[in-house]
Amino acid sequence: MSGIKVAIAGIGNLASGFVQGIQYYSKNSEENIAHPRLGGYEIKDIKIVAAFDIDERKVGKDLSEAIFAYPNKMPKVIDVPEQDVPVKMGPVLDGVAETAEDVLKVASEKECDVTEELKQSGAEMLIIATPSGAVQSCEAYAQAALNAGIGVINATPTPIARNTKWAREFRLAKLPLLGDDLQSQAGGTAFHKGLIKLLNDIGVKVADTYQLDVSGGLEGLTTLDFERRNYKRSVKEHSIKQALDYDFEVAAGTTDYLEFLGSTRIGYYWVEGKGFLGQTVKLDIQMESIDGSNGAASLTDAVRVMKIALNKVATGPLVSPAPYLFKAPPVVIPLDKTPQAFDDFITGKVLL
């Protein structure tokens, strides 16, 4: 089985978890992963061939060094040998939120030609892992991938796979598109949906629910920006609402940034509903996770899904595997049907 050549834009905490994950699972057992093999591919088959960022502490460095540069806080789990992949200067555009201006230091290097870099690298797909709410940057990378003739995985909340304009362009170019907004392995949104679905399945009618979210990563600081926070919130809240077939109040999104939390994200979940005889049921629960590795787990699946799509020449948005891996897929399907839809894509029962 040949390798999977991947480019990545945004060398933040998610990228750090991803690069470390590839290294880790090429040496260690298959513990703690949902899919050791997907379509015959293992995590160790993934090879990063190009990388882009805009921060002066990452641009010009080898990827193996850039993933550990501040403001990244994803813990170092494993030594990563030199990758021979220098991080190239991408287009800055709206990559720096006002709230992150003191932390993200824009490099003075000249912007590279992303399309050309992608072509030269031999990448088959581009992962977009730029900050939440950086719509222009995300679209610029999607366009560069289109120009280079490669697939796109959009980990960010920007509408690409669920945007009809981009969907049409990728279909016309006969290229696959996977997104939007990656759902982490033990992700807040997935967990929240599962909780309320469980209550609903045992007869409790959910009335109100919220998710408070505190973290110390750059993404947490970025989404303190009012507009970006509202944007991310609307994606999360819309996704949570899809879990039940009736209306209920929901609030979910970044609540605060605490530098000392590092890569740790703490989610507080609260649900109120009515059970038998209309009596109140309340649930108050906390989940703590490491952001970068949590997202990277799903990203290793997404890359292998994209490779399978390229092999079978599936073009345009991938509708069956997306709801299992992303918070804002192009087509929403009921929560309990997402694993089957994912499997149907992997086993070839459906093309898209």
Ligand X SMILES: NC(=O)c1ccc[n+]([C@@H]2O[C@H](COP(=O)([O-])OP(=O)(O)OC[C@H]3O[C@@H](n4cnc5c(N)ncnc54)[C@H](O)[C@@H]3O)[C@@H](O)[C@H]2O)c1
Angle between helices 338-346 and 291-311 (to 10 degrees): 40
Decide whether 6 or 204 has the Cβ nearer to ligand X.
6
Question: Binding marks (x or -) toward ligand X, 323..352, rule CB under 6 A?
Answer: ------------------------------
Of 242-301, which residues contact ligand X (CB under 6 A)?
291-292, 294-295
User: Does residue 90 interact with ligand X by CB under 6 A?
Assistant: yes
- Tell which one of 11, 160, 309, 328 touches ligand X (CB under 6 A): 11
DSSP tag of 74: -
Is position 21 an interface residue for ligand X (rule: CB under 6 A)? Answer: no
- 184 near ligand X (CB under 6 A): yes
Beta strands in the chain (DSSP E): 4-9, 46-53, 87-89, 125-128, 151-154, 176-178, 205-215, 249-257, 264-274, 280-290, 316-317
- Angstrom distance (rounded) from CA 326 to CA 259: 27
- Whole-angstrom CA distances from 314 to 157, 177, 346, 351 are 23, 9, 12, 6
Nearer to ligand X, 74 or 206 (CB): 74
55 lines the binding site for ligand X (CB under 6 A): yes
Beta partners for 268?
A: 212, 286
In this structure, the strands spanning 316-317 and 176-178 are parallel
Q: What's the CA gap between 17 and 15, in Å, rounded?
A: 5
Residue 111 CB, shortest distance to ligand X, in Å, is: 9
What are the Cα distances from residue 259, in Å, to 6, 15, 77, 286, 287? 31, 19, 20, 19, 18
Judged by CB under 6 A, the residue of 46, 152, 178, 182 near ligand X is 182
Whole-number minimum distance, CB 94 to ligand X, in Å?
A: 8
Q: Which is nearer to ligand X, 176 or 217 (CB)?
A: 217
Stretch that binds ligand X, among 39-47, 48-56, 272-280, 335-343 (CB under 6 A): 48-56
Q: Which residue has the tokens 């879990």?
A: 243
Applying CB under 6 A, among 46, 80, 104, 196 the residue interacting with ligand X is 104
Rounded to the nearest 10 degrees, what angle do helices 114-121 and 135-148 cross at?
A: 50
User: Closer CB to ligand X, residue 73 or residue 273?
Assistant: 73
At 20, list the tokens: 């470390």
Rule CB under 6 A: is residue 211 a binding residue for ligand X?
no
Considering only the stretches 90-98, 165-173, 191-199, 303-311, report the one whose residues sit in contact with ligand X under the rule CB under 6 A: 90-98
Residue 13 as a binder of ligand X (CB under 6 A): the answer is: yes
Query: Which of 33, 77, 78, 92 contacts ligand X by CB under 6 A?
Result: 92
One residue of 95, 151, 253, 317 binding ligand X per CB under 6 A: 95
**Judged by CB under 6 A, how many residues of this single chain contact ligand X?**
37
The residue among 155 and 199 lying less far from ligand X, judged by its C-beta, is 155
Q: Show the tokens assigned to 205.
A: 């009618």
Tell me the CA distances in angstroms from 215 to 10, 140, 162, 235, one per residue in order. Answer: 19, 28, 28, 18
Q: Rule CB under 6 A: which of 123-162 touch ligand X?
A: 129-132, 134, 137, 155-157
Q: Is the peptide bond before 334 cis (omega within 30 degrees of 0)?
A: no
Count the alpha carbons within 13 Å of 62 in the hemisphere toward its beta carbon: 7
Q: Which of 6, 196, 218, 261 binds ligand X (CB under 6 A)?
A: 218
Nearest alpha carbon to residue 197 among 187, 185, 209, 186: 209
Answer yes or no whether residue 63 interacts with ligand X by CB under 6 A: no
- 48 in contact with ligand X (CB under 6 A): no
Nearer to ligand X, 273 or 292 (CB): 292
Which of 33, 77, 93, 212 is the binder for ligand X (CB under 6 A)? 93
Phi and psi torsions of 25, nearest 5°: -80, -5
Residues near ligand X, by CB under 6 A: 9-15, 52-55, 90-93, 95, 104, 129-132, 134, 137, 155-157, 181-182, 184, 217-219, 222, 291-292, 294-295
